Structure 1
Amino acid sequence: MAQAQLSHPDPAEELAGWIRLERTPGVGLETARRLLGTFGLPSAVLAAGRAQLKAVVSERIAAELSSAPAPELLSLIDKSLDWAQQPGNCILTLADPAYPKALLDIPDPPLLLYVKGRVDLLHAPAIAVVGSRNATAQGISNAGKFSEALSQAGLTVVSGLALGIDTAAHQGGLRGIGSSVAVIGTGADIVYPARNHGLAHMLAADGCIVSEYPLGMQALPPNFPRRNRIISGLSRGVLVIEAAAQSGSLITARMAGDQGRDVFAIPGSIHSPLSKGCHLLIKQGAKLVESAQDILDELGTYSSPASFASVSAANEATDPLMAALGYDPVDFDTLAERSDLDPAALNARLLTLELDGKIEMLPGGIYRRLN
């Protein structure tokens, strides 16, 4: 007697069901979780009758789920399935074994993750590095150096592909063995900001780009604070480098705390608006860090390949003007007084240091060291 063949669900049909459920008007994360908890997989939700659905959701949503999907939704499903077949692309569902376990621990994990690049990085030990889009040269330098050191120690650097600190963090992460993950606030087929097109290409090749938003989703303002929970959720801790008192980076830090992740902050000058956010976090219990090793020591099991503190001390010991600069912004007259140099000689030295990338001149003739 022939043995009956067991039927296995078609993966494409299953994925189509997830996309349809997630994109049905009125179905958000909370409603989707309630439906999945009641019926099981999306295929079972979509197979349920309107009366069954009305016991769980509103009549309007029940009608949407039990009716044929709109042509626009069918087109999006086809587009998404085609995209997922391209080399380096995949769409992970909440039920997929490859879905990052770290996100399953947060209160509101995305139903779908559109992934471009190395999926394995979503399972690696990670550190988020975030900060201002309008960062200073010192902040960008710190982001690049800290991220490279953390990546060389084996941590994947997670950030948001924005200009400023995020960009430097990704670049630093890509220079180390831990690489880097960008969590974006648009569809995975869109690069925003366009200026980071080259960086996005490098991340897709050697790192990872991930989004919870459907293909074609443009850069809408509400998307970015929302994606921050994924940045922190993927990470063991969040490092904030330069943030104003009202900053999206503080949202990420708050979410990290709510998710049980560590929060780290680099202090700065009391005169800099971009230090206010970091100082606020430190007052609220974030761990003050001065080197990558501080973070590695806190997380445990990792060792840093280099110490920034020793480099800084060496610079100061070999250059008296760097010592005169100190670590707060300082004006020309004060520098002349501290260094005992005449104005012409001081101007020449400052120009040399600026060209060497060791200092920057701020508006109003104020100078600040960069290392």
Structure 2
Amino acid sequence: MNTELASWLTLHQIQGLGNEGLRRLLKIYGNPARIFSAPAQDLQKIVRPAIAAVIAQGIDEKVISPIIRWLDDPQNHIVTLADQNYPQALLNISDPPTLLYVKGRTELLNSAALAIVGSRNATPSGLYNAEIFARAASSTGLCIVSGMAHGIDAAAHIGGLQENGSSIGIIGTGLDKVYPAANRELAHRLGADGALISEYPLGTPPIAANFPRRNRIISGLSLGCLVIEASMQSGSLITARMALEQGREVFALPGSIHSPQAKGCHHLIKQGAKLVECAQDILDELREGSTKVILESTTPEKNHLQLLTHLGFDPVDLDSLSQRSGLTIEALSAILLQLEMDGSVATLPGGLYQRLR
């Protein structure tokens, strides 16, 4: 069994630790193996005593063995903060997931992407618009990201899968479950020709609270978010709000003033979302005149090289490095972890980092 992966999986399964707690531990200890070798009394200074006691018990092979068996399928993957395949776009959101379950094409995780979301109870016109907007954007190389729900989400995925950009579905259950069940065929298509992503462990059932949380990943992966048909109570407005908070562009398709399904979109437009009438309106805004700009979005390798330049060869703390690079502490911690794993950076006492090569 891969000890490094086993460490990540065990930590990710600990109830109550969460992304924030795990990131705090990683910031201090550098990688999961060092967390497990730390004395319990030291861990208690960072996390609750009950969680420290669980960590002190070591890797739980019984808990993670079903996940290891799941990975026997070549379509299935685990992507951690330490992996170069980890979506670089998520490093700049306030709560990046520390571990992702992925089924399908991992190379799509760092594609330039457009989120398309909207009503589960969409009109025929809304479904048509979602599919043609997604197909047009996908034909330029943009990957279409949505939430695998009925209605607009499903239509957007179908459109995205028809062209080169393909599509990613972000789900709020474990990847061994399909929800809603009616989208089973679509889930199989995404797993084969696109990708499915979840931050939730295998076996996680549909829990209402998980779906708003997964919305931050939908918007976080994307350059912008298009809302097609949404009532004022629609969860799509949550995704749009998260997109704004993350510094992403927000677009909305207007509709009839008499349609309840247009109220949410009109509200977004009043709040400053960009009104769009065709896919070209979105492409022009995102690419600034050239599709090439979209397709040449920052790669993990470029991020790593840029950060190494900011590091220099003298020891430096995270706050200073954040000022030099303009990156958040969360983004820095994730990239530094990746650089440490490949031997480019070392952690020093006192929370300092030093470039090795």
Q: Please indicate the TM-score interval, normalised by the length of the shorter structure.
A: 0.7 to 0.9
Superposed displacement of residue 25, structure 1 = 2.1
Residue 250 of structure 1 aligns with which residue? 237
Q: Does residue 292 of structure 1 match 2:279?
A: yes
Larger Rg: 1
Q: Which has the higher contact order (CA 8 A, sep 6+)?
A: 2
Query: Contact 1:131–1:249 at 8 Å: present in 2 too?
Result: yes
Cα deviation digits, residues 171-191 of structure 1 (max 9, x gap): 000111111100111111111
Q: Does residue 302 of structure 1 match 2:291?
A: yes
CA distance in 2 between partners of 1:283 and 1:191 (Å): 36
Residue 248 of structure 2 aligns with which residue? 261
Query: Contact 2:175–2:198 at 8 Å: present in 1 too?
Result: yes
Q: Does residue 200 of structure 1 match 2:190?
A: no
CA distance in 2 between partners of 1:257 and 1:85 (Å): 39
Q: What are the equivalent positions in structure 2 for 1:154-233 lying under 5 Å apart?
A: 154-233=141-220
DSSP-derived class of the 1:34 partner = helix
CA distance in 1 between partners of 2:64 and 2:49 (Å): 24
CA distance in 2 between partners of 1:43 and 1:200 (Å): 35
The one-letter code matched in structure 1 to 2:4 is E
Residue 44 of structure 2 aligns with which residue? 54
* TM-score, normalization by structure 1: 0.76
CA distance in 1 between partners of 2:84 and 2:132 (Å): 34
Superposed displacement of residue 50, structure 1 = 1.1
Cα deviation digits, residues 108-163 of structure 1 (max 9, x gap): 11111111111111111100000000111111010011111111111110001100
CA distance in 2 between partners of 1:13 and 1:192 (Å): 32
**Per the alignment, do residues 30 and 287 of structure 1 end up closer, same or farther by CA in structure 2, a change over 3 Å counting?**
same
Query: Contact 1:25–1:64 at 8 Å: present in 2 too?
Result: no
Cα deviation digits, residues 271-326 of structure 1 (max 9, x gap): 111111101111111000000000000011239xxxxxxxxxxxxxxxxxxxxxxx
Query: Contact 2:160–2:167 at 8 Å: present in 1 too?
Result: yes
Query: Contact 1:116–1:209 at 8 Å: present in 2 too?
Result: yes
DSSP-derived class of the 1:114 partner = strand
CA distance in 2 between partners of 1:96 and 1:189 (Å): 22
Query: Contact 1:17–1:42 at 8 Å: present in 2 too?
Result: yes
What is the number of residues matched between the two proteins?
290
Superposed displacement of residue 22, structure 1 = 1.4
The one-letter code matched in structure 1 to 2:203 is G
The one-letter code matched in structure 1 to 2:47 is V
Residue 55 of structure 2 aligns with which residue? 65
Residue 37 of structure 1 aligns with which residue? 27
Superposed displacement of residue 98, structure 1 = 1.1
The one-letter code matched in structure 2 to 1:40 is G
Superposed displacement of residue 87, structure 1 = 1.2
Identical counterparts, % of pairs:
58
2:228 to 216, 220, 241: 241
Superposed displacement of residue 39, structure 1 = 1.3
Query: Contact 2:36–2:58 at 8 Å: present in 1 too?
Result: no
CA distance in 2 between partners of 1:25 and 1:208 (Å): 27
Mean Cα displacement is larger for which, 21-30 or 220-229?
Answer: 21-30
Residue 90 of structure 2 aligns with which residue? 103
CA distance in 2 between partners of 1:68 and 1:48 (Å): 10
Superposed displacement of residue 76, structure 1 = 3.3
CA distance in 2 between partners of 1:266 and 1:256 (Å): 16
CA distance in 2 between partners of 1:27 and 1:186 (Å): 19
CA distance in 2 between partners of 1:81 and 1:40 (Å): 24
DSSP-derived class of the 2:272 partner = coil
Q: Which runs of 5+ in 1 are unaligned?
A: 1-9, 304-371
Query: Contact 2:43–2:52 at 8 Å: present in 1 too?
Result: yes
Cα deviation digits, residues 174-231 of structure 1 (max 9, x gap): 1111111001111111111111111111111111111111111111111110001110
CA distance in 1 between partners of 2:51 and 2:190 (Å): 38
* TM-score, normalization by structure 2: 0.79
Q: Which runs of 5+ in 2 are unaligned?
A: 293-357
Query: Contact 1:76–1:215 at 8 Å: present in 2 too?
Result: no
